[in-house]
Structure formats: structure tokens, C-alpha cells
Amino acid sequence: MVGMRRSLVAVVALVVVAPLALAACSGDEDKPSPAAWVGASPSSGSSAVPESGVAESGQTGGVSAVSLSVTPATGKKDVPVSAEIGFKVSGGKVTTVALKDASGKDVAGALREDGSAWVPSKTLKTSKRYDATVTAVDAAGVTKTASTSFTTMGKPARKTGTGLYLFDDKTYGVAMPVVVEFSPGIKKKDRAAVQKRMFVKSSPEQPGTWSWTSSGTQAYYRAPNYWKTGTELTVRIAVGGLPTGGGRYGDEDRAATAKIGRSFVMKVDNKTKKMTVVQEGKTIRTLPVSLGKKSTPSSSGTMVIMEKKASTIFDTTAELGPTEGYRTKIDYAQRITWSGQYVHSAPWSVGAQGKRNVSHGCVNVSPSNARWLFDKTLIGDPITVRGTEDKLDVGNGWTAFDMSWKEFVKGSALPVPADLAAQEGV
């Protein structure tokens, strides 16, 4: 790599953290902008019940065997707008939760899959009163209710910026992780509480887990293997108003529903200087390439296409100076690392492609092959490079699938079910 610099992506109406942007093959600082959508219902995860308190209760249909307590406690003030309706129940099962705002309007929400709490489908409003009623039933069909009223806190003075790299109704490659960013990063002691509010549902079902980068600025979600073609991902990062540590609160909920397209895998071998392109398990083309020379080697590892630009400018003069730096127009550029490595058209290196490495770290291909690839790829398509002098760093791009599944699950802030952790993965 040559040089180092940081940049923040400005997204209209959003507060978003940008990963480290380094200059390698390119001095281009642009990066794909995170999507921000609101409204998905939670579909997975677990929740510790917050501060406990037994509310007023009653029963219908006889003497109930149910013991039921609800949180937040009655009269509780300054409750975060991320509040869930928690409950402890014995001798029965919670069947319904009703939450109303101060005007008596119903608030939508859903029970967690483990039945530990009820999560509103949107963040609550600040400085407002809410009334909740929880109903449980015992084996004899006798119901018992418990109610509570609480008031939410005002607008927080300090917020954690968030970003979601997933857009509604878009189609992604089979190695597309769900990527969430936080600014500032979430400290280890606070990650479990945040992870409990990050919901992912896949259809057909492919259970997965989250894994955090060491800085806590990013978290990735993936299944043990690449997503199946046709998978639908429904994501809600429900951290709006959630305490994130250090007196900060999440800026807002972010959500998206996206699809996974056909399998399209690129494999680059430094020994042969060739890229093998495999679609739906069948090799469809082999392309000669030129990788990074010894002074600026390409990274070996599994990366994904993060961004596509039909035309752009690579400018390294700011880092390297007017003598060693360069400013070059590039066609069909596809970003694969934050440090500036791309797959792109390189007409000047066609004679070296398939024979020797001459690039600044990028994967050089001919103009015709670059155009062909550009027309075929999706954001999230995997590209694996092998045999170079440099190893891909965790977090230098969307590197979720560069780690083994066994290694990946170690990054979860919550316990991963043993059967899921034991699965074989890519």
C-alpha cells in the first residue's frame, strides 16, 4: 500500500461512519454509501429483561396459575426510546402485548423469537407516555394480564452514528455480508446489548451470526456458507435511541429488504496469472491478469465487489507527490478493498497480463475483459486472490468471508448456538 488517509462519506440526512480509506492502486476516496431504511420487524435475537418491577395485574376465567411481571416498571421516567416491553412469566405463556401512546393509538411491534420481550417496530417518541398491557394464559386457558405505564426520555445530547450497507429492493452477490457501521466504534462491554438489537431474517432460512471488527466500528452478518441464489434478506438495525455506551445513543433505526442473485465467483491465481470465472458452478471464462508488483503486492484473500464505476480517476499525487504519483482515467473499476485495490481495465498492461505483475495492487485485465466482467458482476460477488506476497487484513473491505466460519463466530458479542457454531463453512 502507498500512503494512508481517512475520509467520511456524506449521506444526505444521515450520520454515517466511513471506514479507513487508504490509497493503493488508486487515490480515489469515494466509497459506496450506506442505505438507511426504517420499518422492518425484528425476527431473531434474544433480550435480557431490563430493570424489573411487578405491575398491576388481573385475570379472567378463574384462578390463573400464571405469575407475570412487566417492564419498564410503572411510573418509570427517562426510558430510552428503544425500550422493549419485557416480562417474566411462569406457569403460562404470553399471548399478546398491547402498547398505546398517550393519545391511545396502538403501537405496532412483535415478540422476540425466544419469547423474552416484545419489540416495537419503530423507535418510540421522545418525552412521551406509553401504556402497555401484557396478557398470558395458563394450561387451563385462564388468562392473566399485567399493565405498566412509563415515560420516555428527551432527545439525547450525544449520539452514535450508524450506517447500513444494504439497499431496499436491490440484488446482491452470494458473498454479500450484512455490514453495519458505528461512529464512534462500540466498545466490547457494550456490543452484546447492541447486537441484541440487530435483526436479520433470511428466506429460505440460513442461520448466521454477527462478528465485530476489533475496533467495534463495523459488524458483519453472514451464514456459514455463501447465500443461496434467490435468498431474501430482511434486516433491521434497531438501534435508534439505544444506549450504545459512553452516554451515547444510537441515531436511528436502519432497515432494508434485499435479494441475492445468481452465484458468480471469481478466482485469481498469482502463479498462473489467470482469473477463473465460475457461474452457478460452471466455469464460463478464464482471463489473463496482472497483479501487484513486489513493491505494491495485491492482497491474498476472499474479497467482494463493493462498488462499481464505469469511469473514474485514480489520483495518487497527493500521497506520492508529482514525481512518483499519477493521475489516470480508469474504466470499468470495481472496488474490492478500502485500501484502493480494484479490478479494472488496464490497456497499458495487456502485454504483461497472464505473464508478470506490474500493477500497484489492483487486478489488471484487458479493456474487453474488464467490460465483460463489469456487465456481469453484482455488488457482493466474491473474488478470491491466492499466492501473492501480502495477506488481506480483516476489515480492509467486506472481509466476512475471508475468515473461516470457526474464526468468524469468535467475533460475536453474544453466545452462538453450539449447533450453528459447529457447522462447516467456507
What pLDDT sits at residue 66? 86
CATH of the domain at 331: 2.40.440.10
* C-alpha cell read off for 325: 504519483
Using 50, 70 and 90 to split pLDDT, how confident is the model at 60?
A: low
Using 50, 70 and 90 to split pLDDT, how confident is the model at 328?
A: confident
What pLDDT sits at residue 59? 61
CATH of the domain at 88: 2.60.40.3780
* C-alpha cell read off for 355: 505473464
Give the C-alpha separation, 103 to 9, whole Å: 39
What pLDDT sits at residue 32? 61
Q: Give the residue among 4, 106, 93, 113 at the shortest CA–CA distance from 417.
A: 113
- AA letter at 278: V
Q: Based on the fold, state whether residues 378 and 313 are members of the same structural domain.
A: yes
Residue 401 has pLDDT above 60, yes or no: yes
Catalytic residue among 178, 255, 346, 362: 362
Q: Based on the fold, state whether residues 388 and 328 are members of the same structural domain.
A: yes
Give the C-alpha separation, 322 to 319, whole Å: 9
Q: Based on the fold, state whether residues 185 and 306 are members of the same structural domain.
A: no
Q: Is residue 274 part of a domain?
A: yes
Cis bond before residue 417 (omega within 30° of 0): no
**CA dist list (Å): 14 to 26, 70, 155, 224, 235:** 27, 35, 17, 32, 18
Q: Based on the fold, state whether residues 381 and 409 are members of the same structural domain.
A: no
Residue 23 has pLDDT above 50, yes or no: no
Q: Based on the fold, state whether residues 269 and 188 are members of the same structural domain.
A: no
**Percentage of the chain with pLDDT > 70?**
84
Lowest mean pLDDT among 27-31, 279-283, 368-372: 27-31
Residue 284 has pLDDT above 90, yes or no: yes
* C-alpha cell read off for 228: 443461496
Using 50, 70 and 90 to split pLDDT, how confident is the model at 413?
A: very high
Across 270-282, average pLDDT: 98
CATH of the domain at 209: 2.60.40.3710
Residue 184 has pLDDT above 70, yes or no: yes
- For residues 204 and 66, which has the higher predicted lDDT (pLDDT)? 204
Q: Based on the fold, state whether residues 286 and 365 are members of the same structural domain.
A: yes
Catalytic residue among 122, 197, 273, 344: 344
Residues 6 or more apart whose CB falls under 8 angstroms from that of 340 comprise 1, 21, 22, 23, 24, 25, 26, 27, 28, 361, 362
The mean predicted confidence, pLDDT, of the chain is 88
Residue 256 has pLDDT above 90, yes or no: yes
Active site residue 344: yes
Domain residue limits at 185: 159-262+405-421
Active site residue 362: yes
What pLDDT sits at residue 326? 72
